Chain A
């Protein structure tokens, strides 16, 4: 037995609760008010429960399971905000120490349980994936039967179906035939679609809103797929690079195609005198000059012409000049460059005079480019300075030897060899900021600090994200479905004459208040009795 035949003649799939056509309840002891969810149609999950596939299907098609998944995700997400996530802690510390140091034993546990990287953890991803699976199965389980039921619904209904609707009334009408046109006109005025069959009426509107949830679920699934594509190589570029003023650099992530020149980095603050009067008080509270106003890199974008030849300087063609600011990224060819960080006044050049310590007489000046120092500087007349060693970011290591922490000239130190006509073998001096060491005994000559130049460094993020349009599409579909389902409702009114009585019944999927108001207007001035809300009876 694959099908159930109703007394009205319609053949329904097995598992149907209300006849698709006339709405007659099949269950022996159906409740006083019919359960109109999914129109009483046969859902797979309610009908089959034999194989493993059935069981899995039934599990995921349950809204209860869906809600549990949502609630668990919600709670997990909340736990992730108790302490900062790994990506927000200072990059110089190891997480294992950081959490314990900052937050004590709770922090230690937090770290050990993996909450420090919760949103990237496998089980959080699994939760999201399960929600996705649940969404798909749940929607499929319902949308097909619902579609069938709404498509096949008949105009003439079983009396039981009408009497057991939440809104129902029966009236005595002397001249029903004369009343019909008037009612139809009223229904049409309220923009109902009217179907008529032997003087019975089915007036319906807003059926499309029933598809709202399914549309929004499709949107969500597309969004989730888009989010997952992020892990596919090539879809996604995310790099940070530092670029100094005056420097031209290859933009990472562009495979050598694009180059950027930093012409100038600008950092501005709000200063009391320069701003509008209304801002004075606010600026005073934080302190004048303490509040950032603008971070900006004046950049020029270049594109490489010709093939990449290793070891050769690339030929560049200017694409455009642009001022990259926060909220105003430079966009080109799906790439976007964002202003993310900066460093002011990085040392770029240092100058020294070669002097006689006794007489302070000068024999010339050298200027060391701190990024590309030369090995030797010739001052003429037999005076030369050799740079034996250079420590851009100088410190003493564990053994007390000079060393460098990085290549960034934060704290430069030099070992100079000063070669002069009277000291042809040269004197060695170790020169750092505010200190000079003469390792081989007292020198006659000295490298005296003569000045320095600085420049600003800007940090930019490079992004290219081919998943964005998918996410956008998913989001848009989600919003459309949401609005479709939430701001419209599916309303139906049945009017039918049975045994000299005129029955009026109505159903909506939400906003009963609106439907009642509409019914009141339709019944007004006619012999039809305004349907009563049978749900009120129970109270």
Chain B
């Protein structure tokens, strides 16, 4: 069962990739002739097939484990990717824009690839997680975040379309930053996979912040080493600098490698394209109806905000009351859910009352997604709290 489950996830992943190409084809096709769009039809069909496969992964894994697979970083992030595809499918049937597929699916693919870099084995539940509320809270929260993420995809399309690429400006700079971040996720996946294939392992002895001597195993060459670290494995790279004890050097090292790999990928792309990435993408989106994209972005926030509130705040509070004796404890993860919520509340007010439509609203959608990702990635890995999954 567990084996079947992994295979299904793999199939889903490949299908999403294929669907992306079809949506890409749909864009080119539109320029040539009008009429019912074959490419887009195939694209959405393949997407749905992929979604069904991933649903299969979810169900079989649930059966194998005896609990819903949303209990660690890998499972939660994969589920988020699945919800993102689900949200896209729904929105696609409302608005019928293939372009949205061309942007949403790669994000979902990145999310799933990122997820699979974390320990993937099926794990039993620690006492705090043994509750039906785990399933209810986590699934609705992820669904809400995924719907909100669609607004990011739409916002990105909007920005790529309207930001003037003829001269360098703050706007072109930040747009490249967004794209660089996406590419760095790919960098993370590439670097992790490469060193994993090479079976890289370097053991360090180091002094932690309580002055205890402990061990730490790196799976990537150490650019930054742990506090007073001594390399124990022979023939491995010595770190360039040591970190103070409060910083988790291994995680920082991974981040550096990811950015490094991302920079190489980004540099190569720039070399090949000979212009900004956003400028290279611009022709793809130039036929889009901007108002429609703006509305999709707003609609996804309007739909996603209540779902997010329900999952990430209401259900979270109910569960916290049962599991941790209090409905709210100012744990970092909780606080960041509150921040996300406040942010989107501000977004809605600005839009409604201050008339922040179009480009401003698109930038806000990007920031909102950044906050969600921060909560998903950084708060889990960096700011440890009650919620931090036992990821490495």
Partners in one complex: yes
Report B-chain residues with C-beta under 8 Å of the C-beta of A329: 322, 325
Q: How far is the CB of A348 from chain B (nearest CB, A)?
A: 25
Contacts of A71 in B (CB 8 A): 342, 346
Is A40 part of the binding interface, using a Cβ–Cβ cutoff of 8 Å?
Answer: no
The count of residues in chain B whose C-beta lies closer than 8 Å to any C-beta of chain A is: 63
B236 located at the interface, meaning its Cβ lies under 8 Å from any Cβ of chain A in the complex: no
Contact A325 B302, beta carbon cutoff 8 Å: no
Q: Is the CB of A81 within 8 A of B321?
A: no
* Alpha-carbon distance between A64 and B355 when the two chains are bound, in angstroms: 11
Interface readout for A471-488 with B: 1 if CB under 8 Å, 0 if not? 100010011001100110
Q: Are the CB atoms of B298 and A510 closer together than 8 Å?
A: yes
User: Is the CB of B363 closer than 8 A to any CB of chain A?
Assistant: no
Find out whether the CB atom of A279 lies under 8 angstroms from the CB atom of B123. yes
Nearest neighbor of A471 in chain B, beta-carbon distance:
B327
Flag if B127 contacts A327 (CB, 8 Å).
Answer: yes
Cβ-defined contact, A278 with B291, below 8 A: no
Binds B, one of A171-179, A291-299, A357-365: A291-299
Contact B122 A278 (CB under 8 A): yes
Among A119, A291, A338, A483, which residue has its beta carbon within 8 angstroms of that of B306? A483
A387 at the interface (CB under 8 A from B): no
**Are B123 and A63 touching (Cβ within 8 A)?**
no
B332 within 8 A of A: yes
How far is it, in angstroms, between the C-alpha of A370 and the C-alpha of B224 when the chains are bound? 52
CB distance from B28 to the nearest CB of A (A): 25
Contact: A64 with B379, CB < 8 Å?
no
Residue from B133, B335, B354 within 8 A of A77 (CB atoms):
B335
Contacting residue for A292 out of B1, B127, B323, B338, CB 8 A: B127
Chain B residues positioned under 8 Å from A336 (CB to CB): 325
Is the pair B343, A487 in contact by a Cβ cutoff of 8 Å? Answer: no
Residue of B nearest to A295 (CB): B127
> Residue A309 at the B interface, CB < 8 A?
no
Report the minimal beta-carbon distance from B104 to chain A, rounded to whole angstroms: 18
* A-contact 0/1 string along B296-314, CB 8 Å cutoff: 0011001101100110001
From A339, which residue of chain B is reached at the shortest CB distance?
A: B127
What string of 1s and 0s marks CB contacts (under 8 Å) between B1-44 and chain A? Answer: 11000000000000000000000000000000000000000000
CB contacts (< 8 Å) of A104 on chain B: these are 244
Check A279/B330 contact, CB under 8 A, given A77-B338, A81-B379, A338-B325: no
Contacts A102-B209, A278-B64 given; indicate if A325 touches B127 (C-beta within 8 A): yes
Q: Is the CB of B291 within 8 A of A535?
A: yes
Given A282-B124, A329-B322: A37 in contact with B353 (beta carbons within 8 A)? yes
Measured CA separation A270–B123 after assembly (Å): 10
| Beta-carbon contacts under 8 Å, A232-246 to B | 238
Tell me whether A153 is interfacial, beta carbon within 8 Å.
Answer: no
In the complex, the answer to whether B309 meets A87 with C-beta atoms within 8 Å is no
Q: Which residues of B contact A270 (CB under 8 A)?
A: 124
Residue tally, chain A, CB below 8 Å to B: 64
**Are A285 and B121 in touch, CB under 8 angstroms?**
yes
B267 within 8 A of A: no
A282 to B244, CA, bound (A): 31
CB distance from B333 to the nearest CB of A (A): 9
Highest count of chain A CB atoms <10 Å: which of B121, B292, B325 = B325
Which residues of B sit under 8 angstroms from A2, Cβ to Cβ? Answer: none
Complex contact A279–B342 (CB within 8 A) = no
Decide if B336 is an interface residue (CB 8 Å cutoff): yes
Q: A80-B335, A276-B66, A292-B127 are in contact. Are A479 and B310 (CB under 8 A)?
A: yes
Given contacts A67-B346, A73-B342, A479-B310, 19 further A-B contacts (CB under 8 A): A63-B353, A63-B354, A67-B354, A74-B339, A74-B343, A77-B335, A78-B339, A81-B335, A119-B330, A278-B2, A278-B64, A283-B123, A327-B127, A340-B325, A471-B327, A486-B302, A513-B94, A513-B299, A536-B291
Q: B-side interface residues toward A, CB under 8 Å?
A: 1-2, 64-66, 94-95, 119, 121-124, 126-128, 130-131, 133, 209, 244, 246, 290-292, 295, 298-299, 302-303, 305-306, 309-310, 314, 317, 321-327, 329-332, 335-336, 338-339, 342-343, 345-346, 349-350, 352-354, 379, 383, 385, 390
